[in-house]
Structure 1
């Protein structure tokens, strides 16, 4: 057997093989999808179900708190109009104040409630991801 036979297809024996550079993995890289907790969740094991139920309960609790808060503020409008003397007869630009409060004043409250809910829901999901990644 000659040295040329061991090198392979047409490559001369004097030519060194191509070099391969091996580097360390990036320290900040996310874990591979084979992470144990992520695998537990994907396989729907008992541990994975506990994590998912925890997230669902947290999001449900948040939705209920925001909905109850929104309804309480919404109910405060008619109560304010009913119990504050003279507010029912008050007008602004020829339109009764009660109409403005109930017809226009509700929309900023809807937007504020939605913004608070989205912000808190995103925070809950980020905490869930951190919990799954750390476990």
Structure 2
């Protein structure tokens, strides 16, 4: 059963990492291939700088929150299985 928990936590970590990397890739693609976006300025700062420099932090926070929530669910399910026996 412990191996099952380890596998599920590893799978969860890989899924969250893949999602985080995909979201950063989308941000990069927006900066790279949407020329209109590169011309925008917000308070004098180029929008791509804000997106890549500041916009990544909410993505990190959301990924971390989702990971902790799912990991807790996995551990609760494991605990329920152990307590039944």
TM-score (norm 2): 0.96
* Counterpart Cα distance in 2 of 1:110 and 1:55: 24
Q: Which residue of 1 aligns with 2:15?
A: 65
Q: Deviation per CA, 1:41-64, whole angstroms, max 9, x where unpaired? A: xxxxxxxxxx11000000000000
Q: Shift in Å at residue 85 of structure 1? A: 2.9
Q: Which residue of 1 aligns with 2:50?
A: 100
Q: Shift in Å at residue 134 of structure 1? A: 1.2
Q: Residue 34 of structure 2 is aligned with which of 77, 84, 88?
A: 84
Q: Which residue of 1 aligns with 2:64?
A: 114
| More contact order relative to length (CA 8 Å, sep ≥ 6) | 2
More helix, by proportion: 2
Structure 1 segments unaligned to the other structure (5+ residues):
1-50
Aligned residue pair count: 85
TM-score (norm 1): 0.61
Larger radius of gyration: 1
